Structure 1
Amino acid sequence: MPHLTLRGFLSFLLTLVLAAAGGGLASAVGLPAGWLMGSALAVTIAAMAGLPVRLPDGLRNVIFILIGMSMGATVSPDSLSLLASWPISLAALALELAVIIATTGWMLTRFFKLDPGTAYLSSFPGHLSFVMGIAATGVGDARQIVIIQVIRILMLTIAVPIGATFLPIDHFEIKQATAFLGPLQLGLVALGCAAVGLVFMRLKVPAGMVLGAMAAATAAKLGGLYTDAIPLPLVVLTFVLTGAMIGSRFVGITRSEFLAAAKGGVIATAMTVGIVTLVAFIVSQLVDMPFGQLWLGLSPGAIEGMGALGIALGYDTAFIAAHHVIRLLMLSVAIPVVVVFIRRHERALAQQRHN
């Protein structure tokens, strides 16, 4: 974490304390994935209140490695038996993405009077770095886009644990580990995860560090190089840091900017949650898989957040990660296509006004 000043270190320490306190409180009251949800909420509230929360940029890759390690360590050989069910869920994913983009983009344009660039870039369920890169070229209002997208990520992180608590679904027993990796094994697995993550990043793989770390940890486990679980304190630390990372995305967003985009963002996210829930329910009637696992695989949340929730709720992380990778690949094709249509629409409107 180079160039970390004393002030920056104190802000980082404050962020960790807030995240740990929020996660501990949510866990103490019995919320599923409480460490993750509580830390995200606590840091989000602090950021919106103007407190100096921050995570050093170099720490983000460490968090991604921890998430990938944890996801890979939960994969079992039984995961491969689910491959036969994937064509159905992948077809549902493609249909779901088209419906989400079309309906939420139309809603933001029609009822919130956003320009098409802002509305449709805000409606893309994922690939935030790609979306913001396009916004930086002059398509849409970048500030409104990032607020709506971050609201989506935060709300999805909160929605799953609440749903698991109050809805009569997924009474899924999480297997309790009895043997854990030692310090030397952990260090070797982490080095392998970091190395493969860097390779994935160099190859421009979406979410490369997370996916590379997961690929390394999964390959090592399925190859018999280790069988034990990640120690519970390290898993809790991973959840706390992931929640802090989600919440810290609200830093720098003023209250007026937030309020201007929040209503549209909340409604768009609610629409997205409704569509995902309906599609996941339909798919759950066709395949033998927990509803919550399907929901996490089809949900358009950040892969690190959905992967961490998958670990916390005891689901198959290989299924979840694979669907998120394919979602990002689908969006890599869809985003430029939609932007081309937006540009053509803007040129047509400009020509009409000129005439």
Structure 2
Amino acid sequence: MNPIHLVDNRAPRKARWRTMENHNRSLVSIQQLRCFESIYRLRSITRAASELGLTQPALSKALASLRTEFRDQLFVRTPSHMEATTQADRMIQSVRKALHIVDVDLRAGTTFDPRVARRGFTLCCSDLGTLVLAPSLLAYFRANAPHVRLRVVPPVQIDMALGLAQGEIDLVIGAFPELSSDVYQQVLFSDTYSCLVSAQHPRIGKAITLEQFVSEYHVVASATRSGHQHSAVERRIIELCGADGIAVRVPSFLEAPPLVERTDFLLTMPTVSAKHFARPRVLRLVDCPLDIRPLEVRQYWHQRTHHDSAHLWLRTLVFELFGRSRASNGLPFSN
């Protein structure tokens, strides 16, 4: 008589059921974990499916499997978004660690082939950084890395050093001198400052003097919360012009040019970005009369991903697309 059969029969009914249940339990796949993380972050089935390149039925099927596996709804639909349950909140950090192990730790030292790779990169940069960098990156991905995805997060909504250390961010791009010592950096290019004024400005033509600058009203886009180098320029303008000289503050540079276009206000901003807004007979670009040190735009990454082939590919691509000097090397950050 089969001894295994005898043991099974002798087991209490509840124990036999538990053994069968564990045996039949499905394995959670990496793809299902990606689905979970994407829904958790985006709070939307539609947006998560689009990000992962899946149909909504396929994503819903993966979510149904996870709900069965963990015996919890995980996400509950509300009128505006998918709300995470307490169980999902408990799971998210472990899921992200697991994905980091698969996407980074296990791939360290392996060859990264962008033509067939299926993975995403997360960049952290300002609204102006997105305006200048994202179109070229996306065009390159489309032509040479069709399955590579890009996600952009603003610096005001995330702790950049912590995000790099935990793998939530792959690269920070901008001018952030306060990033911590375990972050590497590479200079991409240096930028000057210019002023945007209305083409119909009654007092300013093709140039502006310091006296004119101080006497005019200004639009200020605040960068203080993000630790961007521009915050020093912001303080300089307020020191020279006084609080009364600031006509309006806006949280983003993208919101500022329309205000200048329809008024006689001035907007001081990095030249490379300002050129995107200057238009004949609408907005004029003039040299800024302030003595401001050049803005050094850099890419920053964590030492944990310094030797990872996928990260190296991304950093090299960013430098080739936007670097002004190929002699720049990535070095540990120092003040």
- Which has the larger share of helix? 1
**TM-score of the superposition, structure 2-length normalised?**
0.24
Greater relative contact order, per chain length (Cα 8 Å cut-off, separation 6+): 1
**TM-score of the superposition, structure 1-length normalised?**
0.23
